[in-house]
Amino acid sequence: MEAKVTAPARGKPKAQRGARYQRKRDALLDAATVLINEHGAKATTLQAVSKAVELSTTSVTYYFPRKDVLAAAVFERAIGRLREFVDEAAKEQTPRARVRRLLELHINLRADVIAGTAVPIATLSEVRTLDDAIREPLLEQYVDLFRATRALWGDFSAEQKPLLTARTHLLQETIFWMPVWLARFPVDEFARVLRQLFDLFDHGLALPETTWAPIDLARNADGEPLGDEERGAPNFLGVATRLINESGYRGASVTRIVDELQVTKGSFYHHLDTKDDLVLECFRRTFSRLTAVQTAAGETGETQWKHLEAIMNYLIDLQFEGEFPLTRTSALQALPADVRNEVLAKSDEAALRFGNTLVEGAQERSVRVVNPLIASQTIAAMLNSAYDLRNWAATMDRKTAIRIYASCLTRGMFADPAEILGTG
């Protein structure tokens, strides 16, 4: 993206100077947003932004003296834009209409971005890479955004709050992941995509008479050894995955990894050549574990619904446990391009397996008829982002937490809370 900006003008009327200043500042934020989405916040330098807008770095510092100040401004604007969409959706009369409108606004934005008439919203996953002093105010703004999004469902009791929190989390994660898979559809199909995605949220995957009763897969169904002794080498991948999930790609330094494991850097480099190798191996292991669980569920000999139910139960439990979770796809944007492409290809493979399960489930009438591409990507987003709900899950019995979170997709976003919570 290129946006030409001139240096600040002198001797102009105050109102005119203010308008020009805002336009130039917005152009810098537009350029920085694209760079952050492509390369991550840590890799987005003032020099890169100045090149994108054809300004000297010195001129850019007139608006943003440091790159962390620029990154904070990008994320603050992103949260503000997300909040504008939520506030617009809140004008609708019912929870269903509000959620549908929010999805519509984001799909319309994506169409405008593809047409070159709008700038995308910055991906917020990189907020976690910022220093505390800059990150904390942004997190407070995000909490306000989350609460406003949750309010789209209307008033709810304290007893219903955990369910509404889970629904809000899935809605937001679906929106954040949507640009990745929406590109597979032509723009003139976006209206149909909206209908099919909302149908999934409205009615869920399960048939009306289906109850949640997952088959318990073996503890090592993901192919991982059960204990450190069986693993042999220091658990570099487990520690690195947690650090990536919590601090982003740039935050998972080799120093932090070896400090947590209490080993030397030499021990690390004995197993892996570079940090990029480590991160790529984390993603490869994640997708091999996904495949192993999908295969194990398929070998139970039950219906496709029972396969899907077993997969969801196992992987949500693994994510809530948090010891060796799946690597968050939110780290994608900071990866080198070749590594990112491999990870996205593996992600698509996992989603295709879910899609095949949904197709055969519809054929045997154990699963509702849904668009398998849309539903499989939504399932993947739900499972991958479950790690972020581990503190939420810790407030209740694990099986209850899994059932409540899974219900957001199995029963839909608007199922009777009393029925889901077992209080009716």
pLDDT digits (tens, 9 = 90+) for 252-307: 677 777 777 777 767 666 566 666 778 888 899 999 999 999 999 999 989 999 99
Question: Is pLDDT of 368 > 50?
Answer: yes
Q: What per-residue confidence (pLDDT) applies to 1?
A: 43
Q: What φ, ψ does residue 300 adopt, rounded to 5°? A: -75, -15
Which helix H or strand E contains 164, and what residues bound it? helix 161-182
The answer to whether the beta carbons of residues 43 and 65 sit under 8 Å apart is no
Residue reference for tokens 């909490």: 143
14 confidence band (pLDDT: 50, 70, 90): low
CB atoms within 10 A of CB 47: 12
Under DSSP, the state recorded for 185 is S
370-412 residue pLDDT tens: 999 999 999 999 999 999 999 999 999 999 999 999 999 999 9
As a whole number of Å, the CA-based R_g of the chain is 23
Q: Which candidate, 105, 99, 131, places its Cα nearest to that of 118?
A: 105
Question: Is pLDDT of 205 > 60?
Answer: yes
Length of the chain: 424
Q: What per-residue confidence (pLDDT) applies to 407?
A: 98
Question: Is pLDDT of 29 > 50?
Answer: yes
Where is average pLDDT lowest: 78-87, 301-310, 340-349, 354-363?
340-349
Q: What per-residue confidence (pLDDT) applies to 273?
A: 65
Residue 119, both tokens: 């700038």
Residue 319, both tokens: 């994510």
CB atoms within 10 A of CB 329: 21
Question: Is pLDDT of 89 > 50?
Answer: yes
Q: What per-residue confidence (pLDDT) applies to 250?
A: 67
**Three-state DSSP class for 25?**
helix
Domain residue limits, the chain = 14-155, 202-230+289-421
Residue 134 amino acid letter? I
Residue 19, both tokens: 């308008």
Question: Is pLDDT of 199 > 80?
Answer: yes
Give the angle 326-68-280 at the CA atoms, nearest 5°: 25
228 confidence band (pLDDT: 50, 70, 90): low
Question: Is pLDDT of 10 > 90?
Answer: no
Instruction: Report d(CA 201, CA 378) in Å as an integer.
Output: 10
The answer to whether the beta carbons of residues 181 and 415 sit under 8 Å apart is no
Instruction: Report d(CA 289, CA 272) in Å as an integer.
Output: 20
- Collect contacts of 19-22 with beta carbons under 8 A, ≥24 apart: 21/63
Residue reference for tokens 């849904």: 370
| C-alpha distances in Å from residue 114, one per residue of 38, 107, 359 | 15, 11, 30
Q: What per-residue confidence (pLDDT) applies to 227?
A: 63
Average confidence (pLDDT) over 314-342: 87
Could you please state the CATH topology (level 3) that the domain comprising 14-155 is classified under: Tetracycline Repressor; domain 2 (1.10.357)
pTM of the model: 0.91
251 confidence band (pLDDT: 50, 70, 90): low
Q: What per-residue confidence (pLDDT) applies to 2?
A: 44
Question: Is pLDDT of 417 > 50?
Answer: yes
CA 281 vs. chain centroid, Å, equals 20
Average confidence (pLDDT) over 120-138: 90
Q: What per-residue confidence (pLDDT) applies to 4?
A: 46
The answer to whether the beta carbons of residues 106 and 178 sit under 8 Å apart is yes
Exposed e or buried b for every residue in 217-231, given b needs 16+ CB within 10 A?
A: beeebbebeeeeeee
Residue 399, C-beta contacts closer than 8 angstroms, at least 6 positions apart: none
